[in-house]
Amino acid sequence: MTDMIFLGIESSCDDTAAALVTGDRRILSSVVSSQTALHADFGGIVPEIAARAHAERLDLAVEQALAEAGLSLDAVTGIAVTAGPGLIGGVMAGVMCAKGIAAGTGLPLVGVNHLAGHALTPRLTDGVDFPYLMLLVSGGHCQFLRVDGPDAFTRLGGTIDDAPGEAFDKLAKLLALPQPGGPQVEAEAAQGDPRRFPLPRPLLDRPGCDLSFSGLKTAALRQRDALIAAQGGLRTTDRRDLCAAFQSAVAEVLAEKSRRALVLSPVPLLAVAGGVAANVQIRAALEHVAAEAGARFLAPPLRLCTDNGAMIAWAGIERFRLGHRDGMDLAARPRWPL
């Protein structure tokens, strides 16, 4: 259906995003305004700062998305907005922005679960069929989802503590590397020896697809402190070797749990989304597991793996096609399991 165009609005974490997407999977524009610099001095995302920045930037992001697509709101079929889960101030800012546009134009409004946005991205980028398995690995999320339809998700397992991106960020902090930590740790790890420090493989001894990353971080902290006590500080090689050991442990755990998920739920495709999917070693490990299980592996382009408005517009289109509509009573939900 080429005639359908949705505006997607996303503001549940630290990216203010708006995009225009067509019913035949074309991304006409996708604007992402990152708040990384605003939070840099605080060592993490400050919810109040995030909410205020979203409120300031949302209208601009929508205007820019329309301008880049060369369209006015007259050409739009409907408005999709992240209604949760996420930081409540940011989600509220997005929902209010979407309601304002819907009220002003009379366009239909569709509330979208942020996780559904990530989970449906392989349908936008590659037009894949159901069912498939989605491993969502970001700074805030970590779960295995079996996707059977636009609103048919089964959670096979997930983290019982930190998300993997959060663990990468905490390790970076321990080693005095800049944030976000994932890319920094990956760069250090590329020059390190993953065998020098034995780190645990959390929850591998337990059946199922649940994961844990906080123990891994604590084990890395102990190694760091032992080195500092013994040598009076950290050498470059120590930092590199710790990063390599940590990344290998995360890759191995994600790979083994993905293997189990594919046994529990044999589907033709393993897809991955979230910022951690940028990690080359982790990607390679997952690709290997998928190949062994006879499944295809799919990692959408990184700009569509991390938070963006296009995935929300697309999830809105999928829900709209199922007949979902929301009214002016659409609520922002900080917690909203799929």
Q: Which residues lie near ligand KG4 (CB under 6 A)?
A: 13, 138-140, 165-166, 168-169, 180-183, 186, 274-276, 278-279, 306-307
108 binding partner (options Zn ion, ligand KG4, none; Cβ < 5 to 8 Å by kind) = none
Annotated binding-site residue? 165: no
Annotated binding-site residue? 114: yes
Sign of CA dihedral 112, 113, 116, 118: positive
- Site membership for Zn ion, residue 10 (CB under 5 A): no
Distance CA 10, CA 148 (A): 24
- Site membership for Zn ion, residue 238 (CB under 5 A): no
Closest CA to 262 of 168, 131, 169, 174: 131
The contacts of residue 284 (CB under 8 Å, 6+ apart) are 251
- Site membership for Zn ion, residue 307 (CB under 5 A): yes
Distances (CA, A) of 76 to 109, 148, 195: 11, 28, 55
For the bound state, the minimum distance from the C-beta of residue 294 to ligand KG4, rounded and expressed in Å, comes to 27
Burial class from Cβ neighbours inside 10 Å (0-12, 13-18, 19+) for residue 230 reads exposed
The contacts of residue 165 (CB under 8 Å, 6+ apart) are 137, 138, 139, 140, 180, 182, 274, 275, 276
Closest CA to 308 of 117, 140, 141, 179: 117
157 binding partner (options ligand KG4, Zn ion, none; Cβ < 5 to 8 Å by kind) = none
Instruction: Name the segment binding Zn ion (CB under 5 A); options: 24-32, 51-59, 151-159, 303-311.
Output: 303-311
Residue nearer to ligand KG4 on the CB measure, 181 or 192: 181
Annotated binding-site residue? 169: yes
Annotated binding-site residue? 139: yes
Annotated binding-site residue? 129: no
Annotated binding-site residue? 86: no
Distance CA 44, CA 56 (A): 20
215 binding partner (options ligand KG4, Zn ion, none; Cβ < 5 to 8 Å by kind) = none
Per DSSP, the three-state class of 142 is strand
Burial class from Cβ neighbours inside 10 Å (0-12, 13-18, 19+) for residue 301 reads exposed
For the bound state, the minimum distance from the C-beta of residue 113 to Zn ion, rounded and expressed in Å, comes to 11
Number of residues interacting with Zn ion: please give it, by CB under 5 A. Answer: 1
Contact 137, 163 (CB under 8 A): yes
83 binding partner (options ligand KG4, Zn ion, none; Cβ < 5 to 8 Å by kind) = none
For the bound state, the minimum distance from the C-beta of residue 98 to Zn ion, rounded and expressed in Å, comes to 18
Residue nearer to Zn ion on the CB measure, 295 or 305: 305
Contact 185, 172 (CB under 8 A): yes
Residue nearer to Zn ion on the CB measure, 307 or 326: 307
Annotated binding-site residue? 140: yes
Annotated binding-site residue? 279: yes
Annotated binding-site residue? 324: no
For the bound state, the minimum distance from the C-beta of residue 164 to Zn ion, rounded and expressed in Å, comes to 13
Residue nearer to ligand KG4 on the CB measure, 173 or 324: 173
Residue nearer to ligand KG4 on the CB measure, 29 or 281: 281
Residue nearer to ligand KG4 on the CB measure, 5 or 17: 17
Q: How far is CA 229 from the centre of its chain?
A: 37
Distance CA 57, CA 15 (A): 10
Closest CA to 314 of 74, 112, 175, 75: 112
Residue nearer to Zn ion on the CB measure, 138 or 258: 138
The contact set with Zn ion (CB under 5 A) reads 307
Annotated binding site for substrate: 136-140, 169, 182, 186, 279
Annotated binding site for Fe cation: 114, 118, 307
